[in-house]
Structure 1
């Protein structure tokens, strides 16, 4: 679990600590140097980085040809990047990664909640899915206009309903339909969508 003081200092102020914790637990990584590389529906096995410099080398090698997500929040570094030199090792700084990752998720969560019309629990799960795939309701959601902080967000509740639930048949193929949808959305390369978007509204890499 992320230190509460770190969340208070670094996370987007529009999100409660509970939302931040659940978001990182669901969509993030425990390794601040983690780099995930995905092209289409395939995730590439990349070496574990031992330093921000090694992690940046992985980003530089794959950015533009694949979807690259980094750090604790698995922030998609391809958004708004027109030149690889625009991405610096600051994306692997723990506080900065939390700052930009939670800012992006907050925007996605508000978009999804506005679509629902009311702050319901289902909006959180859909927002996590949208953050991971880049798509919600058929639209590339990571670059859409922020509806504003007046949108009230539901605090996710711990889901224990499946702990004692009997196993269910997911079909002859044994595949989860929701996972199949995720694979289809991942196959749509987010790095090819609105690549020239200004990131100034999400986070400032150089800000303390």
Structure 2
């Protein structure tokens, strides 16, 4: 069992501690230096690192050729990294690994939850968690590459901005119309031949 204080201190706050515990229990490792290397569906046997330096060297040797998972959360080491030199040593540090891993898993959980219609019923949540763990292990859910997918949380933030943008655009158009009307009125005032109708006569003759 992972130390509860470590989860409280390091895990993504959007995930409940119970979910973090289950996530690490089912998809992670108790060893901060655990390195898992896969080539397709085949696990590649590698020497067990004894120090963070050995772990990073092992990651660098396999990155780009194989899928490499690292540390307590079995974080995907190559995510967002173009060159092995971009690897950060704190990737195998327990707290930082939990922070990185749970932040990414929280996004995966939201992607899966959105597919289910963002359910709130307790009976459905275990299935969502099951699928989220499988998605974490495989990198895919319903054909979507979950690690690179757009975070549903960001979509919710973007929508109001879009609405504000549309409202601002409407206000801009309205201001343009008002400005055009004002221009016509000003022009009419200075040129009698172009003056618009000042008095509404359309109602004359229609009254009994």
Match of 1:133 among 138, 145, 149: 138
- Aligned partner of 2:24 in structure 1 is 24
| Ranges in structure 2 where 5+ consecutive residues have no aligned partner | 157-208
2-side partners of 1:2 and 1:30: how far apart? 7
SS in 1 for 2:153: coil
TM-score of the aligned structures, taking structure 2 as reference length: 0.70
2-side partners of 1:135 and 1:58: how far apart? 25
- Aligned partner of 2:150 in structure 1 is 145
1-side partners of 2:7 and 2:55: how far apart? 23
- Aligned partner of 2:63 in structure 1 is 63
Residue 87 of structure 2 corresponds to residue 87 of structure 1: yes
Query: What are the Cα deviations for residues 22-59 of structure 1, in whole angstroms up to 9, with x where unaligned?
Result: 00000001110000000111111111111000000100
User: Comparing both chains, which one has the higher relative contact order based on Cα–Cα distances under 8 Å and sequence gaps of 6 or more?
Assistant: 1
- Aligned partner of 1:72 in structure 2 is 72
SS in 2 for 1:143: coil
TM-score of the aligned structures, taking structure 1 as reference length: 0.70
Deviation at 1:149, TM superposition (A): 8.3
Query: What are the Cα deviations for residues 119-161 of structure 1, in whole angstroms up to 9, with x where unaligned?
Result: 422110000000000000011111111111899xxxxxxxxxx
Aligned residues: 151
Query: What are the Cα deviations for residues 47-100 of structure 1, in whole angstroms up to 9, with x where unaligned?
Result: 111100000010010000000000000000111111111112210000000000
1-side partners of 2:155 and 2:17: how far apart? 18
Larger radius of gyration: 2
2-side partners of 1:19 and 1:49: how far apart? 28
Structure with the bigger percentage of helix: 2
2-side partners of 1:123 and 1:27: how far apart? 15
Cα gap change, 1:149/1:82 in structure 2, threshold over 3 Å: closer, same or farther?
Answer: closer
Runs (4+) off by over 6 Å:
none
The question of whether the paired residues in 2 share the 8 Å contact of 1:11 and 1:103 is answered with: yes
CA RMSD of aligned residues (A): 1.5
